[in-house]
Structures are given as C-alpha cells and as structure tokens.
Chains A and B, each alone.
Chain A
Amino acid sequence: MDRRAFVKATGVAGIAGLAGCSGGPSDGSGDTATESPTESDDSDDGGEETTAAETTESGPAANVGMVYATGGLGDGSFNDQAQSGVIQAEEDFGIEYNEAQPDEVAQFSTFQQQFAQSSDPNYDLVCCIGFLQLDSLTENAESYPDQDFMIVDEVVDAPNVASYTFMEHEGSYLAGLMGSLLTTQEFSAGAGSTVPDSAALGFVGGVESGLIQRFQAGFEAGAAAGNGDTEVLTNYTGSFNDPAAGREAASAMYNDGADIVFHAAGNTGTGVFQAAQEAGRFAIGVDRAQSITRDSYADVILGSMIKRVDTPVYGAIESKVNGEFPGGEALSLGLDEDGVDLVYGDSIGSDVPEAVADEVATAREDIVNGDISVPMSPE
C-alpha cells in the first residue's frame, strides 16, 4: 500500500502543479508577472538593475500589461489584431509589454489584478481586450484606483479607465450591402460562385450578446438596403472557439441557399471558411483581413469587416506615453474614425464587379456623412 499511496500523492501533486502552471500569464521575457510579488520585496535595489539589463539604458517608456480575450493569440482575428497594436507601440515608443491569455472568464479578474498589483515592473497601463472583461474590470478599477486601465468593446465608468468601443454595425452594413448585391447576380471568383436564383445570406455569431448583435443588425440592414428580398439566415454557435460548430452552422446555411456567410465568431469562423470551400460559395471575414491571415481560404473570402482593435491599443499607449491618458472617457470608433471598415479579399476581392464596389463606396460616404443611420440591434 505504501507504493500506492506514493503514486497517489505524486499524482495529486502533479495535477496541482499542472493546474498551477497552465494558468500563468505568458510573456516574452520571463515570468516577471507571476514572480514579482516575492521578488520585489528582497530586491529593492536590485530591481532597477534587472529592468535596466533587459532593455536599453534608459528603461522602457512605459510598461503595458495585455489581458487578451478568451480566443487566445493565433485566432487570426481579434486578439492578433490587438497584439499588432502593442507591437507597433513597442517599435514606436520603446515600451515593454507582458501578455496574459486567459482561458475562461473567471481568469480575467486574476490577470488584471496580477498586472495591477505588480511592482516589478510597475505597469503603467493594463489593456483589457474584449467585452467579457467588463465585470471584472468594473471591480478592479475601483480596487486599484492608481492603476490606469483601458478596455476594448465595453464602457467602464471609472476615472482610471479609458473605454473604446466600435461601431461594428457601420462596417457590417457595408458587408451586408455587398453580400445582397452579389447574391442576386451570377458571380463567381476563386473557388466560389453564387446561386443566382436564391437571394440569401448567412450570419454566424459567436456568443449571443449585445456586441455580436451589432454585427448582425448592421449586416441585416445592409442586406435589406441592397435588395429588399434578401433573406438573412442567422445562427449563434454559442462559442468563439468551436470551428466544428461554425462549419456545421455555415454548411446548413449554404445548403439552404445562402451564397455568402458573414461571421463574427472569432476562431469559430475558421469552420465557416472551411464550409464555404466545401460548398463552393463565399464567406466574409471579420476583425482582420482574413484573406491574408487565413490565406488557405483566400479563394472564398470576398472581404473582411475589419475592426482595428490595434487602433485603441496603440492610441491608449501613445496617450499614456505622452502623459495625456483619457481616463474616464468613452470613445467610439466608426467608419469615420477608421475604427471599422470593409476591405476586399486579397485574392478574389478584385473580382467584385465595379458597380457593386461603387455602391458600397457610396454607402460608406453616406454613413460617414450621417445620411444613412445604421441600427445597432437586430429587429
């Protein structure tokens, strides 16, 4: 029985150890975020040396903590886009950053606190990416009044938080408009072609929420504007990280006659592209130019409704470095502010007929000028 007890104990210890390390924040330059509480106590005079050794003589212009959304890096859309903002800021301002990729909503608060508490380095700004961080940040902003935060996709009403939201419905309107103009005509490009006798589009969402419904609302409004008879099929997979479900949802839509499916579902969207390739139809990407980030599907991606998550990340860091951090403000970025836009696919976007592209460009002008107002929630 001794051996048995030993094996059990080893197993339990192993599990505990695994659970402990699988949740830690990952960063490029060592585990500073996790180790800092103990380290800072005994290295008061050594602290500056270690930081200095890691960087140039002057030290970083700012230390930034990134807490990503649950999709994780490598999603080819939302989180990668946010990361490109901080990387750009690193090049331009010489800041340093650490990253945390939470697996689930419950970990947001932990990582936010870890960054806020850390004193080696002392983070000047913590970027919280994604609307799911709202609750934990509302609490933490109050608990750490001296820490500056910024949040993307939600508004936290606190003096030390800068909130950035996007007018996704404006960009999605253009996607819907393009889709409905194409679905009624005979169109083929790359690996896809439309079925001329059906006027149907599809929308695949991730977790059903006010945010994703903005995409849906704009897409539906744009589709109706292009052609009143266009039907928009809608499915929410309930997850941003389930490509298999995205594929089934999109397959069902293509089988029902949808020509073009627009997704706002993070990683789940990979399955949508897969289904488009299998069905020989089209898809519209989201957040980034996905015909480039997911280039194996470039032959079916007509375009992408990009959401420049890097803009607020970069902007917040820039203002922090310049000492004019917009704490307590809520900024909304639309087509006019270059926060969202519709970009055409890298390989087949140029095949979109000029008449369609012109109409989309006109609608874009009209939205910017305020002549078209796009609804924010689906009917």
Chain B
Amino acid sequence: MSDAPAEAPGTDAEAGSDPDPDSTPNAGPLGSRSNRELIAWAAIGTLAALLLGGAAFPNTILGVLADVITDKDTLSAALRLSVPIAFAALGGIFSEKSGVINIGLEGLLIISAFTAIYVTDVTGGIWIGFGGGVVASTLLALLFAVVTIEFRADQIIAGLAVWLIALGLAPFASQVIYNGPNTPTVGTTGSIYVPVLAEIPFFGALFSASPSVYMLFVAVAASWYVFERTAFGRWIRASGENPKALDTAGVNVSRVRYVGILVSGVLAGMGGSALSLDLGQFTGNGPTMVNGKGFIAIVAYLFGNYNPIGAFLATMLFAGLDAIQTVLQLQGIGLPRQLIRIIPFVVVIVVLALVGRTRLPEAAGDHYESGEE
C-alpha cells in the first residue's frame, strides 16, 4: 500500500512502482482500450447475447436465465442486497480519496448494524435506531481518524483494528444485553410503494423498495455531485493526490481528511443500519450478519475506480449475480446447487483479475503533516 508514494512526486502511479503493470493486458489486440471499459462492454455484450438467446430459445438454459434476469423480483432482490455494500463503498471512496485507506468498513457496518437494532429495541423508534447506528459508526470512524491522523498510526493496521474491535464488541454487547450473540427481532422499515409505477414490468422494482434503497440512490448522486462539482470534492481529491499543493493553497489537509473519514463513517453507518433494520435482527455469531460485505465494498469501489456511480454499478453486478443465483437454485437447470451458489464470488474474482491494477490516489496510505520539510 505504501509503495506508490515512495516514488518521486509527480510520477504517474499507473507506471509507478510496478515495473510495467499494464503491459501484459495491453499487449493484446485490444490494447488501446482500457481494461475497465473493455470489461464493461464485454458484460453488456454477454447480457445482450443472453437476452437474445433467451428470446430465441425460450425453453433452454438461456431462456431460463433470460427470464430470471429480466424478472422484476430479481432487480428488487439485487437492490436490497446492494444497499449495505454500496453505502460502505461510497464511504470507502470518501476516505480513500482523501488519502486515508479505510479497510475498517466491515467494522463500521458491524457496529452500526448492532447499534441500530439495540437503539430501536430500547426506544421503539426505527428511525431513531437508524440514527443510532449512524452515530455509532461515525464515532468508531472518529476513533480511526484520530489514531491515523493525530497519532500517525499505520492506516492498514488501524483499519484492521477497527474491524476487529467491532467484530468483538458487537457480539459481546449483544451477549451482555441479550444473553446471546443474536438480538431479538424488532420492527422493520417496511417499503415504499408507488402505486402505478410499481406495476411497470422490470423497472417497477425501483418504485416498490425499502426507504434505504432510495436513500442509496440519493447518496450515490450526492457523492457524485460532491466530487465533481464542489470545492470540497476538489479538496478531498487534492488531499489524496497532492496534499502539499492543498496545504500551499491554504486548506488544512488534516481537517479535510477528518471530514473524509467521518463521512465514510456516516455512509457506512447508513449501510449497516439499513442491513439490520431491513431484517429487524442482528445476528452476531462468526463473521456476524455483515459477513464480508465491507470487504466486498472495497472490491466494488476499486472496480468502480473511485467513482461513486461506478462503485454503485459494480455493487449491482455482484448483488445482481447473487440474486440470480438464488433464483437459479430453484429452477433446476442441471447444475449442482453448490456450483450455482459460488457464481457471484467467481465472477468477482475473474473481474478483479481482468481489471488488474486500479490507480490508487497518489498519497493514499501516507501521513501528511503541514510544514514537515
């Protein structure tokens, strides 16, 4: 993680620390295109071929697949599954773009998922619980920020600590409060149903979803707007790419990074609260109900190249595949269930292997102190 910044300032990280990271994939006949673009087109092409094939041969595997993919229920399942991952991914973007690699997203999800249920259970208000989850996650993110910025701790180690603290703390608190790692069930957020629009064949799913899905749409759009259109977004980017320049321009780098991490805490907290409140229960055994979603979020924003919309689409790819495998298990297409179940993970690994290197913000992972030199 700290290899890129070791290069002289101004070196393009893409050709930076590794001898020539892009040479292998680019050596092919399609070398002029970026890998990411290529994969996006390949995915769209495969999808189109699938749908056409399905329409042509409705009674084959292709037909079943096309049916499943175009099903409204698949889309709504994909949206539900993507909420916690996409929120965490957005949070990760804010933090990492500002120059602090936050691998503690998983921990932020865990702590907020538990706190949301606990506060809801105590106060009886679902949205109060939602807020409680966000506050808990933000506080943990604040701890992370203080340790990494104030005390200059290694970001990776501190991020791991955040995860481990939450992984131990949430089930422990549940054990103390509820005598077991699983909480009792509380009310759920329910869903918002737009009368006429929800009847539209495929996209109707967009109009009959839980409030957290709409909040996610707003968060994606707002994040994109912040990065592309506001001065604060430029500060965040500068803080991660060239903190010295930002400092020279008279902006306090530490403050920008604090805000970046806190925003990541807020967003991840929304994801965690939405995850547990959607089901009304927190289950805390083993990897807890979060079960690696925070780490998938990291993959998602790397695959989305730090773009909020890209990260959201990457999340939808994974969540969509997950939704599809669930339905495929019921269809009896001749494949063993165990194989169907691992489809999303296989695809993510393949995609990551093909995308290869993502360009990290120049100063990510590096501590910055004003007037150091």
A252 at the interface (CB under 8 A from B): yes
- B144, chain A: closest CB distance, angstroms: 11
Contacts of B152 in A (CB 8 A): 3-4, 7
Q: A244-B275, A247-B279, A252-B77 are in contact. Are A7 and B165 (CB under 8 A)?
A: no
B73 at the interface (CB under 8 A from A): yes
State A12–B154 Cα separation when bound (angstroms): 11
Chain B residues numbered 18-57 whose CB sits less than 8 Å from any CB in chain A: none
- Using an 8 Å CB-CB cutoff, how does the interface string of B289-331 with A read, 1 for contact, 0 for none? 1010000000000000000000000000000001100110110
Contacts of B322 in A (CB 8 A): 248
Classify chain B's interface size: 35 or more
On whether the beta carbons of B188 and A73 are closer than 8 Å, the reply is no
B97 at the interface (CB under 8 A from A): no
- B294, chain A: closest CB distance, angstroms: 14
**Out of B153, B180, B323, which one reaches A8, CB within 8 Å?**
B153
On whether the beta carbons of A274 and B180 are closer than 8 Å, the reply is no
A235 at the interface (CB under 8 A from B): yes
Chain A residues numbered 164-223 whose CB sits less than 8 Å from any CB in chain B: 202, 208
**Out of A80, A101, A236, which one reaches B285, CB within 8 Å?**
A101
Chain A residues numbered 1-50 whose CB sits less than 8 Å from any CB in chain B: 3-4, 7-8, 11-12, 14-15, 18-19, 21-22, 26
Q: A12-B157, A235-B330 are in contact. Are A18 and B164 (CB under 8 A)?
A: yes
State A101–B181 Cα separation when bound (angstroms): 9
Contacts of A271 in B (CB 8 A): 279
A104 at the interface (CB under 8 A from B): yes
Classify chain A's interface size: 35 or more
Chain A residues numbered 290-342 whose CB sits less than 8 Å from any CB in chain B: 294, 296-297
B234 at the interface (CB under 8 A from A): no
State A267–B281 Cα separation when bound (angstroms): 10
Q: A208-B337, A241-B286 are in contact. Are A75 and B182 (CB under 8 A)?
A: yes
State A26–B180 Cα separation when bound (angstroms): 10
On whether the beta carbons of A19 and B164 are closer than 8 Å, the reply is yes
Contacts of A71 in B (CB 8 A): 182, 285
**Out of A11, A22, A233, A251, which one reaches B161, CB within 8 Å?**
A11
State A3–B154 Cα separation when bound (angstroms): 12
State A21–B169 Cα separation when bound (angstroms): 10
**Out of B73, B285, B326, which one reaches A103, CB within 8 Å?**
B285
Contacts of B147 in A (CB 8 A): 7, 11
On whether the beta carbons of A18 and B77 are closer than 8 Å, the reply is no
Q: A7-B147, A14-B161, A104-B286 are in contact. Are A244 and B180 (CB under 8 A)?
A: no
Q: A7-B152, A73-B181 are in contact. Are A243 and B164 (CB under 8 A)?
A: no
On whether the beta carbons of B153 and A15 are closer than 8 Å, the reply is no
State A242–B289 Cα separation when bound (angstroms): 6
- Using an 8 Å CB-CB cutoff, how does the interface string of A268-279 with B read, 1 for contact, 0 for none? 001100100010
- Chain A residue nearest in CB terms to B163: A15
- Chain B residue nearest in CB terms to A10: B153
A152 at the interface (CB under 8 A from B): no
On whether the beta carbons of B182 and A74 are closer than 8 Å, the reply is yes
On whether the beta carbons of B283 and A245 are closer than 8 Å, the reply is no
State A241–B175 Cα separation when bound (angstroms): 16
- Chain A residue nearest in CB terms to B186: A296
On whether the beta carbons of A11 and B153 are closer than 8 Å, the reply is yes
- Using an 8 Å CB-CB cutoff, how does the interface string of B152-173 with A read, 1 for contact, 0 for none? 1110011011001101100110
On whether the beta carbons of B151 and A7 are closer than 8 Å, the reply is yes
- Using an 8 Å CB-CB cutoff, how does the interface string of A63-81 with B read, 1 for contact, 0 for none? 0000000111111100010
On whether the beta carbons of B284 and A72 are closer than 8 Å, the reply is yes
| Of listed A3, A80, A235, A271, residue having the most chain B CB within 10 A | A235
Contacts of B280 in A (CB 8 A): 270, 274, 296
**Out of B179, B182, B323, B326, which one reaches A267, CB within 8 Å?**
B182
State A74–B175 Cα separation when bound (angstroms): 9
Q: A236-B341, A249-B329, A294-B185 are in contact. Are A21 and B168 (CB under 8 A)?
A: yes
8 residue pairs A–B, Cβ–Cβ below 8 Å: A15-B164, A22-B168, A236-B338, A239-B291, A242-B291, A244-B289, A248-B323, A270-B281
Other than the given A15-B164, A242-B283, A296-B187, 5 more pairs (CB < 8 A) read A7-B151, A11-B158, A73-B182, A267-B283, A297-B185
Report, nearest first, the 5 A-B pairs whose CB atoms are least far apart.
Answer: A74-B180, A73-B180, A74-B182, A72-B285, A22-B168
